[in-house]
Amino acid sequence: MKGLILAAPTSGSGKTTVTLGLLRALSEAGVNVRGAKSGPDYIDPRFHEAACGRPCMSLDAWAMGPEQLRALATKGTPELLLVEGAMGLFDGAPPAGRGSTADLARTLGLPVVLVVDAGRMAHSIAPLVAGFANFHPEVTIAGVILNRVGSPRHTGMLRAALEPLGIPILGAVPRVRGLEHPDRHLGLVQAQERPDLDAFLDRAGDTLALTVDLDKLHDLAAPIATVPAPLPAKPPAQRIALASDAAFDFAYPHLLDAWRAAGAQVIPFSPLADQAVPECDLVYLPGGYPELHAGKLAANTVFLHSLRRASETAQIYGECGGYMVLGQTLIDATGTPHAMAGLLNLETSFSTRKLHLGYRRLHADHGAFPGTWAGHEFHYATTVRAKGEPLFTAQDAEGTKLSPMGLRDGAVSGSFAHLIAPL
């Protein structure tokens, strides 16, 4: 199995569109290709899966050790793995950028294809690419894809400027209408919410097939060292009811797969469809966008009543959006309050937004996930009221002690942090 990292100098360079177009184009050409995403991301991986029809994993070089990264990267039997980077190539957690896409490239031993937004530059592209190519001796820039070029003349100027560097130019992707992604406060609009998804992916695939040398790209890929699959860890419960729909879609596949491998039964259900919680030992409410569906969730009495009943016999854990639903009130962006499950003494609001972002080192002595975990926080909700026993002690990526996170009331617990991997 071989792989490549697709990275960029900055966020917003178009690497997601380029990655999706390459996944679709290579898949259509008969290549057994799979995508992966660097860092903590729930949304982009679902687009990867739609583009090539194969599962996509998040590979987080901050939260995961080298063995887990290699095991996840080589899972399955694709001949080619395309890993989409996050932010800029060397951007990671403070203070030194740990967990960056460059860290992942070094850990997996993979070359990097740099996707450069060349729309507003010409000859200046040369020192930019040269700087990235020479910045770290263990990070190899194996090729460049020029993105958002304006014309054949513009492309010629860019190629002439880069020629002395000796780095292969794999293609020049023009500005194309209809390849923009609609987004919202946590990133792209989710794949399942786009009725035009297949048409969009076909358009991206056709564009990349015409403008990028797919054979040369494939030839640059390097082998990934395989490792034995790790022994499955004990799952948090044997029967896990998983909330799964447009409001609760931020569950990491690697965690769900690990629980199944350890013998747990994961039973999906849809709170948005007002389905009752299945019989289980643990109810897992992952993150998502419950704030966009707060009115409907508040009216779904079958779901809410069954959740309250489940709290009498099972553990219940809510993560970020799921945590908010376990509270008493969720105030939406218009300032309208919506009654939630009332299982935690918690009120959250989107009417006053504040960004909370960063890696977290978390420890819990009780609740559904005791022990020490690597996690991530990314949300705009504010806490109006939170009373009760905290769930986690917390530190940030630099080891600075933070205020305790989350709440626990008997068998019910949750926090704004997304758990990535045990430490």
In the chain, the amino acid numbered 309 is R
Complete DSSP assignment for 290-326? GGGGHHHHHH-HHHHHHHHHHTTTSEEEEETHHHHHH
Complete DSSP assignment for 134-176? HH-TT--EEEEEEEEE--HHHHHHHHHHHGGGT--EEEEEEP-
Helix and strand totals (H; E) in the chain:
12, 25
Q: Cis ω on the peptide bond leading into residue 95 (within 30° of 0)? A: yes
Residue 56 annotated to the active site: no
In the chain, the amino acid numbered 361 is R
Between CA 61 and CA 58 the distance in angstroms is: 10
Question: Exactly one of 52, 56, 280, 320 is catalytic; which is it?
Answer: 320
Between CA 56 and CA 160 the distance in angstroms is: 37
Determine how β-strand 80-84 pairs with β-strand 33-38: parallel
172: its two tokens: 């020049």
Q: Could you tell me which residues come within 8 angstroms of residue 243 by beta carbon, excluding any fewer than 6 positions away?
A: 268, 269, 270, 271, 283, 284, 285, 286, 322
356's enclosing H/E stretch is strand 356-364
Q: Could you tell me which residues come within 8 angstroms of residue 362 by beta carbon, excluding any fewer than 6 positions away?
A: 372, 373, 374, 375, 392, 393, 394, 405, 415, 417, 419
Which sequence positions are flagged as catalytic? Answer: 320
